[in-house]
Amino acid sequence: MGADEENLRAIEPGIVTDFTDRMTYASYLDLDTLLGAQHPVSVPEHHDELLFIIAHQTSELWLKLTLHELEAAKTALAQDDIAVALKCIARVKHIQKSLTEQWSVLATLTPTEYSEFRGSLGNASGFQSHQYRAVEFILGNKNAGMLAVFESDPAAHALLSRLLDEPSLYDEFWRHLHRTGLAVPTSALERDVRTAYTMNPDLVPLIKDVYEHPHQNWAAYESFEELVDLEENFQLWRFRHMRTVLRTIGTKPGTGGSSGVGFLRRALDLTFFPELFAVRTEVGR
């Protein structure tokens, strides 16, 4: 028996090989649709445009799963099932790591390579990602003015309109803690959920007390840290986004009309759960 024959791995007898009337890996995942969804628009087609398309399509798939998990976490909080909510948030944290690391692949696109097909994108921009905007809405960074961007996309507009009207994940969290018996101030329970969440100083004393006496309310204590992780991961993603754009196009304006890096840099000042960070100055005083 030759070396090639020795190294040949035999197909195990139980492995299915006849898929005449069976579901296959490709059919279950609808790979024909998925792998056929990349349509470069540069003429002649530029080699690196496929990287650009796949990087963004992959991000959208992860964002779809992120929304799926955050919606489930919000529902669980409304049902006072904190364990399920935290499990969903834990999964989102792992998704965020994958999204952040993905920027390293896109960062291999040099300024010269990108410039050769950037003009073909027209006004298409990540700014127009309705799923990214939906994630921000569900986490509390709401802006009714953003709906105008999606008026030409009824499904996206409907999703964002619904999330604008509904309590955010953070709103549902405080309502849950109120139902568990914590003295959550009325200002947190009755705020206008259609507006962007802003710092509520009334919450800081409660959060401080939980941090200083964690064993008296461990579920709230653990939840605070999970939410802090969620925001930190989001900020790391934003930072890598900004640095990748800076590395690729410098300070040029974005294709969608934004100021580019300047716009992304200002986004780093946004916060979803401000009291959970403000309390760190107060704990131990």
Q: Is the pLDDT of residue 1 over 60?
A: no
Question: Are 258 and 127 within 8 A, CB to CB?
Answer: yes
Q: What is the mean pLDDT of residues 109-123?
A: 95
- The dotted CATH code for 48-282 is 1.20.58.480
Q: Pick out the residues of the known binding site for heme.
A: 241
So what's the pLDDT on residue 4? 59
Cα 161 to Cα 134: distance, rounded to the nearest angstrom = 9
Helix H or strand E segment including 137: helix 130-139
Q: Which of 142, 146, 210 is nearest to 171 (CA)?
A: 142
Q: Pick out the residues of the known binding site.
A: 114, 118, 241, 255
What does the pLDDT look like over 227-242, one tens digit per residue? Answer: 999 999 999 999 999 9
User: What is the value of pTM for the model shown?
Assistant: 0.93
What does the pLDDT look like over 163-205, one tens digit per residue? Answer: 999 999 999 999 999 999 999 999 999 999 999 999 999 999 9
Indicate the domain borders of the chain: 1-37, 48-282
Q: Pick out the residues of the known binding site for substrate.
A: 114, 118, 255
So what's the pLDDT on residue 17? 86
So what's the pLDDT on residue 285? 78
